[in-house]
């Protein structure tokens, strides 16, 4: 049985996904307005990217109304896990330790972030 091809979003596609994860189901115009608030993005460019993302099964399109509504097919957490897993395999030889060490050494963590990380590690460590 052939495995279904999984597409990884590009940087521009991730920007669209972030808008949809934050706003929920949206029209192309709504997504374009959100993207334009962070820099100039043409409507037709956003439309074309969202059409491609639908073909790549990254988005779902509801065509029941004249104005099509798009939504992300996968939750943010699932997509992030896939991307981190790919990065861990490609850049860190599958080593979670190396990935985490590099991630936390990249920028200064706040006290709150450190507490959250310690709590997560404690919970993962068992009793």
Q: What is the pLDDT of residues 41-64, one digit of tens each?
A: 899 999 999 999 999 999 999 999
110 in a structural domain: no
The pLDDT value given to residue 5: 62
22: nearest Cα among 32, 34, 40? 34
Residue 59's CATH number: 1.10.10.10
89 in a structural domain: no
18 in a structural domain: yes
99 in a structural domain: no
Q: Is 62 left (phi over 0), alpha (psi -120 to 50) or beta?
A: beta
Give Cα 98 to chain centroid, integer Å. Answer: 22
Interacting residues of 84 by C-beta distance below 8 A, sequence separation 6+: 99
Number of separate domains in the chain: 1
The pLDDT value given to residue 70: 98
Dihedral (Cα; 90, 13, 54, 5), 10-degree rounding: 0
Range of the domain at 64: 11-72
Average of per-residue pLDDT across 9-24: 96
19 in a structural domain: yes
100 in a structural domain: no
Of residues 78 and 7, more confidence is placed in: 78
Structure tokens at 11: 């940087």
- Is the pTM above the cut of 0.75? yes
Give Cα 55 to chain centroid, integer Å. Answer: 17
Q: How many Å apart are CA 31 and CA 19, to the nearest integer?
A: 6
Percent of the chain with pLDDT over 90: 71
Of residues 38 and 62, more confidence is placed in: 62
Tens of pLDDT, residue by residue over 69-103, are 999 999 999 999 999 999 999 999 999 899 989 98
Helix (H, G, I), strand (E, B) or coil at 8: coil
């Amino acid at each position: 049985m052939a495995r279904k091809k999984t597409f990884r979003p590009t940087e521009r596609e991730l920007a669209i996904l972030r808008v949809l994860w934050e706003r929920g189901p949206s029209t192309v115009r709504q997504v374009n307005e959100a993207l334009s608030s962070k820099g100039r993005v043409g409507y037709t460019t956003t439309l074309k990217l969202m059409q491609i993302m639908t073909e790549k099964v990254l988005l779902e399109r509801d065509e029941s109304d004249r104005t099509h509504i798009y939504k992300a097919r996968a939750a943010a957490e699932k997509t992030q896990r896939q991307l981190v897993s790919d990065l861990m395999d490609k850049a860190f030889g599958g080593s979670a330790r190396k990935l985490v060490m590099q991630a936390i050494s990249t920028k200064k963590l706040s006290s709150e972030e450190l507490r959250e990380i310690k709590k997560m590690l404690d919970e993962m460590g068992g009793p």
